[in-house]
Structure 1
Amino acid sequence: VDESALTGESAPVAKSTAPNAPDTPLADRTSMLCRGGRVTRGTARGLVTATGLDSELGKISALVAGAKRESTPLEERLDQLGNRLVWLTLAVAAATAAVGVFSGKDLYLMARTALALAVAAIPEGLPVVATIALARGLWRMAERNALINRLSAVETLGATGVICTDKTGTLTENRLRAVRCVVPTAGEIDLEARESAADPDDETRRLLRLGVLCNNAEPGAAGANLGDPLEAALLAAAAKAGIDPAAERGRFVRLRELPFESETRLMGTVHADDALDGARLVAVKGAPEAVLAACRLTPEERERWLAANDRLAGEGLRVLAFAGKTGADRGPDVFRDLDMAGLCGLIDPPRDDVPEAIRECREAGIRVVMVTGDQARTGVAIAGQIGLGEENGDAATVLQGSEMEAIDADSEDGRRRLLETSVFARVTPAQKLALVHLHQENGAIVAMTGDGVNDAPALKQADIGIAMGKRGTEVAREAAEMVLRDDAFPSIVVAIRQGRTIFSNIRKFVVYLLSCNLSEIFVVGAATVFFERLPILPLQILFLNLVTDVFPALALGVGHAGSDLMRDRPRPAAEPIVRPRDWRTAVAGGAMIAAATLGADLFAIRVLGQTPEQSVTVAFLTLAAAQLAHVFNMAGGRSPYLRSEIATNPAIWAAVAICAGLLGLATHLSALAGVLGLHAPGPAEWGAVAGFGSVPVVVEILRRLARRKRP
């Protein structure tokens, strides 16, 4: 029975009437059939012992329903930031109005100015820009075969610190392949070597022939053999060696079969051949210990075969033994006194692109944990092949599900052991769920990959569940936030990179908006205290809020990330969108823009000889130009300024061009200029705007040069 959807183990399990202990793990309950399994061979009659929620499938459904779904970190951070900015903005606007009135300014003007500041400073566009950034990221991920079921889950994946991944079909190809055999004389043979595959020796050919005859799989079109994956792999190995399964079965007609049983742990077949003069060909395959017990061997030969078995098993191969003989059909005794033909090692190989993906996860500070229903030895071998658990140069540590039950997760030592283990084998759905919860309690944002029904509870409990699109069950896909259309583990790395890019972009446009809004507050606040008039009017503030803030922020939200983004460790789960250093950057940027604006206003009055009514145009255009220039300062500090992800982003240049065009309309379209209190500036005024408006860029370049020269 194929129970991979329930247990995660790819190989079909033989069932029998022998009873099992009540505490036997699900994967080892050989006397029970569960809904969700698929019969690959044989017939049986059974007694129903559980239905509905009492069945194993029902228990998994109950775990899925009980797994709690929390808000994503991005949703929580945006809500917190928005609430704080609303109250902060209202307080600043009220204080500005009060100071202006007490300093003798017109009450109506200050009331309008305070209202304009409040409207402009409140980031009402933050949810819209964040949604657009997330949607853009979703589209990019869909191009790379990652389908998102929940928009905000894109960013959550970018903050992932732990990935709990299934082995079969996720890290491996979910396709057994015969790679090695051991025969009596020639010893170990590499079945994938060109010379061995094209022209096998007689002993290897005999072993592969026995694998074809003692086999119930059927050859399919284009090598897609049908039946038990293990038996299908034997047919593929024989075909690769030039053995035609159909021709062999046509020559050696099967007379009868000894089905595989868990008690005997072997399968046998008897075949007729006209060339044998009435004798029969006997073919047997099964567990090495069982087949060796049925063979005529000396103690030394038996020890040699057992050592070869241990060697292959130590490499993570599933080992089958083959034996046969030619003789009379003597009933059940025909499967005794056999001649040992050899051992065959089969592997469910890891995907070729997984080791590189594991390496990228390690560089990004992301811990990958294998959670499988397979054997511990196999899990450790696959982990070694893909580089899992090599953070300290050591082999991957492993725990079995039964060992997990014996560990006290509440003790410091037990908790540390569970958190530091890289491979978990023979685990149940409840244990997967507990493991995800344990890492979440440790402060990590957890992603869980899976494809079977048994993965569904943990997929839902995880901060983001990742289901396989090709091999995944419908239950797993419904429980997950992301579905990998190509089942490729590297697609997860692409999603992580995109998630980090989205959060980085959101942080950039938030800091940019804060800088722009603070610059307007600083201009009005400074003028309220030190000037007898305001250098910028309420309608002009609203115009800037609708024009120069929106387009650059949108361009920042859909931009690409810096090249070193995947070299940073994951963000702490409690880290806010705007960190203390981001607040310092926003305040410094706002003060710099405000200083440039006030300087341009004074320059227009004292140098250009303009009246206060005329200088408003220079101050307005300088404020807009400085804000547009400041968008280039949002680039990461480790990239060259002129080759940064901002300077090379076409959307940024398009946004700047659109804003420049709208500013030109505001000053040269008489109807709009009259409403805003502006006039068409002359060459000298444009020169002043260009000079003072470029202050943010000049200051940032000088700051980077000074930092580069520091020892």
Structure 2
Amino acid sequence: MLFNLSKSMLFYQEEINAILKKFNVDKKQGLSKAEVESRIKTHGYNKWRTHESKSLLSLFLAQLQDALIYVLLVAIAITAYMGEYIDAIIISGVILINAGLGVYQEVKAGKAIQALQKLAALKATVIREGIRQIVDTFTLVPGDIVVLETGQIIPADIRLITSVNLQVEEAALTGESVPVYKDAKTLPSGNHVVLGEQKNMVFMSTLINYGRGLGVVVATGRKTEVGKIAENINTTETKTPLEIRLSELGKTLGKIALGVCFLFFIIGFWQGRPLADLFLTAVSLAVASIPEGLAAIVAIVLSIGVTKMSKKNAIIKRLPAVETLGSVNIICSDKTGTLTMNQMKVMQAYTFNSGFVSRINTSAKADLLQLSKIMQLCNDATLTKHQQTGDPTEIALLDFADQLNINREQINLNYQRIDEYPFDSDRKMMSVIVTNHAKTELLVKGAIDQILPSCSHIQIGTEVKELTETKKQEILKSSEQMSAKALRTLAAAYKPYPKKIEKENWEKELIFVGFVGMIDPPRKEAKKAIAKAHQAGIATFMITGDHKQTATAIAKDLGILQTDDQAITGHEWDSLSSKEQQEKINSLRVFARVSPQHKVNVVKRLQETGHIVSMTGDGVNDAPSLSHANIGVAMGITGTDVAKNASDIILTDDNFTTIVSAVEQGRNIYSNIKKSVLFLLTSNLGEVIAMLVSIVLGMPVPLIATQLLWINLLTDSLPAIALGMDPDDPSVMQHKPRPPKESFFAHKQGLRVLAGGCLIALVTLTAYTYAYSIKGYSPFDSSVPQTVIDYARSMAFMSIITAQLFYALAFRHYQKSIFSLGLFSNKILSAAIVLGVVLQLVLLEVPFLREAFKLSSLSLNDWGIVLTLGLIPLLANEIVKIIYRIKKDK
């Protein structure tokens, strides 16, 4: 059904029933699937304007906006003016093909990033067709009924239907840092009320930091308050540190190359060479020697890599994280759900009257039934045969009631929650006030060390007696026995609530009932992942709110710590001075009973001692530690919107193993980018050296302008991109993490580039001079026929491209042989080499192309020489690798 929303409609002054009627929605049923689809067509998706996709034409034109391209365009005009139309056409063709490849790479990278953004989209809990569902926030439409919970980022502009202790941080919209209390009550009609005072409205992009509620969406996307602001903001894309470093490298090399080419031109001019040819060759050499393809290759390798990571349950939100992943040497992980199964189950229950109860059954005593009732009513989870939602601990408590054969549905009907004091990490308790009309009670569940000191009495059977110090010590001793078995304890208490009490006095003078012991078994795969991380020079820290005994037992099982003195509690940590913390932190592995503030402190201390830290988290209070860490990792299943927003990576499976896999993948991505960069620099250096040596020696240049541009087109696209897509190398996890500021030329890679460039130049000049000798001439003769020069250039041209194509194989690994890697294991690179050779054959054997590039046909013997010379750089590199491995084995 269509409905009309007036721009002047003031929802905060409207009665909620009137608003629901206008949106044609029932708050219990919500919208139907068909109605949602219809409203999406009418109102669009729930997102404001982002960068509009650039047209192919604008992308193409952007590829031409380069100073060297402008010079080439001038060169085209000059050659055309001189009547060298074929040269002009070839140069134009190379420019167009190169720009086309750039467009293809940008489009492919853009699509990959868009796909990742969809994967990382925030979620919202809605009621549709009478069922609570979790949906992507961008699918919300006006009229959707949204469930609001602590830690959630408001997904749209919403008019509240109900609210319970709801507080919203609206600094993102109003600039007011103090949380705003929200109330579903209708505001009195009259003058316009500013956003900050619209108490029954919550707005898109603001944060719920306390309480819960239910509301109806009244505006989405551009029509939201923050959407209206976003419409007027121009955002700019930012580059990753890796892209910035490569851009700076490219500029530096470009300046060097331009200097060399200027020198090339000056020497040629002094030698009296034809100015037009000299200018065109110098410009072409500049284009060929500058690795302008670096940015495009990095973009496509990053996008392919992060897409691959998303398929392995790690969504990279920020591309710089990929580079940082390779340097991580500490992983700080939460225990529950990440290192464990996150499937809590009550294994034991304890009451003072019943003692330890392991086999829970229907003959439970009154105090045990009271314990279960508190755990059920002081609970926000849901558990049915077909669905479960909420915190795993709370789900386990509902399952505990099922073990006692309690009719949970009937209890929920009998009791009504009228107020609550939600759990927070400081109190470590949750309290609710419930009534069944006959009586009103305050029910509390939480950490036993927090609840027990707040109790003055204890329920024993059906009686309530004074809680003596002796009884307290017996309870604590029983709790420690459970913790020693790696069971997590959770206690329950209550008291009558005859009259209204201030919240700060709720949790006093309680009646202790008992506690339960739960276990969340370690993930089987986590132990292997921790061992793998250790082998890679990465230490694993467990940081948890659980008891020290529980944390230590799990950590020992997983291989995180060896001795008990490697574990510390938050309280013990606080007792140390800053200097003592720095001295001790490297010897620790487990932090138990910690608060969010402890997490931040641990991250800072680790960073102060030179570590690169990855931190996991899922709650609102984890956001600071996620932000402070070098890599913040949020849980995709249990994580709050706040944690996800503060993170760099989201794990869609909440699994520690995925973190280690992400580190491994990050290392491989960086390694592949490095391979491409070093290969491009080596190839370009070979061209520059060959050309510069020839002109210094006074020979005719071995490569003319069109040939240089063709080489640049071929090597900057096919093998360079193929190297960037090299299969993952398992051995990357056998090395220590890479220092964050490590240069591409570290570990003698600069020497490798220089040596490779010299070898390629030597091969080129050898083929060139040998071709002269075959025809009975010297390149220094002044009367060499043009046909001989063209033949010599053909040999040099084929040799340099063959050498570069084959040499790409050497860059797959700096140490391993190409045969141990598998000669054809990188099928894309193999195809690139074959395609490169085929294109050369086409260029040489098709008469029109051969004449256009001023080439000559080669005999079978000539091809034997070309292939032999082309293999020399690769074979030389393999020999160096053999020597390296022999020395290493010694």
Q: Please say whether Structure 1 and Structure 2 have the same fold, judged by a TM-score greater than 0.5.
A: yes
Instruction: Quote how far apart the aligned CAs of 1:238 are.
Output: 6.6
The aligned residue for residue 556 of structure 2 is 384
Which region of structure 1 is more displaced relative to structure 2, 507-516 or 656-665? Answer: 656-665
Instruction: Quote how far apart the aligned CAs of 1:707 are.
Output: 4.4
Which residue of 607, 610, 634 corresponds with 2:811? 634
Structure 2 residue 324 is matched with structure 1 residue 147:
no
Structure 2 residue 843 is matched with structure 1 residue 672:
no
Which residue of 620, 623, 627 corresponds with 1:453? 620
Higher strand share goes to which structure? 2
Aligned amino acid, residue 165 of structure 1? S
The aligned residue for residue 313 of structure 1 is 483
Q: State how far apart, in whole Å, the 1-side matches of 2:368 and 2:459 are.
A: 19
Q: State how far apart, in whole Å, the 2-side matches of 1:407 and 1:144 are.
A: 40
Aligned amino acid, residue 520 of structure 1? E
CA contact (8 A) 1:146 1:495 kept: yes
The aligned residue for residue 275 of structure 1 is none
Q: State how far apart, in whole Å, the 1-side matches of 2:710 and 2:593 are.
A: 63
Instruction: Quote how far apart the aligned CAs of 1:654 are.
Output: 1.1
Structure 2 residue 288 is matched with structure 1 residue 120:
yes
After superposition, residues 236-635 of structure 1 pair within 5 angstroms as: 236-237=399-400, 239=402, 243-246=404-407, 307-319=477-489, 344-390=516-562, 396-400=566-570, 407-409=576-578, 411=579, 413-418=580-585, 420-425=587-592, 427=594, 429=596, 431-579=598-746, 581-607=748-774, 609=776, 611-635=788-812
How many residues align? The count is: 625
CA contact (8 A) 1:160 1:496 kept: yes
The aligned residue for residue 663 of structure 1 is 840
Structure 2 residue 868 is matched with structure 1 residue 691:
yes
Which residue of 251, 263, 277 corresponds with 1:95? 263
Q: State how far apart, in whole Å, the 1-side matches of 2:393 and 2:428 are.
A: 19
Q: State how far apart, in whole Å, the 2-side matches of 1:541 and 1:558 are.
A: 26
SS in 2 for 1:216: helix
Aligned amino acid, residue 222 of structure 1? K
Cα 1:157/1:709, change in 2 over 3 Å:
closer
SS in 1 for 2:517: strand
Q: State how far apart, in whole Å, the 1-side matches of 2:459 and 2:638 are.
A: 39
TM-score (norm: length of structure 1)? 0.74
Cα 1:36/1:97, change in 2 over 3 Å:
closer
Cα 1:538/1:44, change in 2 over 3 Å:
closer
Q: State how far apart, in whole Å, the 2-side matches of 1:263 and 1:668 are.
A: 80
Which residue of 360, 373, 376 corresponds with 1:216? 376
The superposition leaves residues 505-526 of structure 1 with CA deviations (integer Å, 9 ceiling, x where unpaired) of: 1111111111111111121122
The superposition leaves residues 426-450 of structure 1 with CA deviations (integer Å, 9 ceiling, x where unpaired) of: 5555554454444444444333322
Q: State how far apart, in whole Å, the 1-side matches of 2:569 and 2:354 are.
A: 37
The superposition leaves residues 238-263 of structure 1 with CA deviations (integer Å, 9 ceiling, x where unpaired) of: 756xx53339999xx99xxxx99999
Cα 1:212/1:47, change in 2 over 3 Å:
closer
Which region of structure 1 is more displaced relative to structure 2, 221-230 or 362-371? Answer: 221-230
Q: State how far apart, in whole Å, the 2-side matches of 1:511 and 1:48 are.
A: 52
Q: State how far apart, in whole Å, the 2-side matches of 1:100 and 1:618 are.
A: 23
Q: Which runs of 5+ in 1 are unaligned?
A: 1-33, 38-42, 62-68, 270-283, 324-337
After superposition, residues 19-34 of structure 1 pair within 5 angstroms as: none
Cα 1:95/1:375, change in 2 over 3 Å:
farther
The aligned residue for residue 132 of structure 1 is 300
TM-score (norm: length of structure 2)? 0.60
Which region of structure 1 is more displaced relative to structure 2, 107-116 or 205-214? Answer: 205-214
Cα 1:300/1:436, change in 2 over 3 Å:
closer
How many percent identity over aligned positions? 32
Q: State how far apart, in whole Å, the 2-side matches of 1:44 and 1:146 are.
A: 35
Aligned amino acid, residue 293 of structure 2? G
Q: State how far apart, in whole Å, the 1-side matches of 2:706 and 2:884 are.
A: 40
CA contact (8 A) 1:77 1:576 kept: no
CA contact (8 A) 1:504 1:561 kept: no
CA contact (8 A) 1:53 1:59 kept: no
Instruction: Quote how far apart the aligned CAs of 1:226 are.
Output: 7.9
Q: State how far apart, in whole Å, the 2-side matches of 1:302 and 1:55 are.
A: 39
SS in 2 for 1:467: strand
Q: State how far apart, in whole Å, the 2-side matches of 1:447 and 1:550 are.
A: 35
Cα 1:308/1:248, change in 2 over 3 Å:
farther
Q: State how far apart, in whole Å, the 1-side matches of 2:847 and 2:169 are.
A: 86
Cα 1:315/1:499, change in 2 over 3 Å:
same
Instruction: Quote how far apart the aligned CAs of 1:106 are.
Output: 4.7
CA contact (8 A) 2:167 2:208 kept: no
Q: State how far apart, in whole Å, the 1-side matches of 2:804 and 2:168 are.
A: 73
Aligned amino acid, residue 851 of structure 2? G
Cα 1:527/1:236, change in 2 over 3 Å:
same
CA contact (8 A) 1:213 1:248 kept: no
Q: State how far apart, in whole Å, the 2-side matches of 1:600 and 1:657 are.
A: 21
Q: State how far apart, in whole Å, the 2-side matches of 1:472 and 1:49 are.
A: 18
SS in 2 for 1:447: strand
Cα 1:206/1:679, change in 2 over 3 Å:
farther
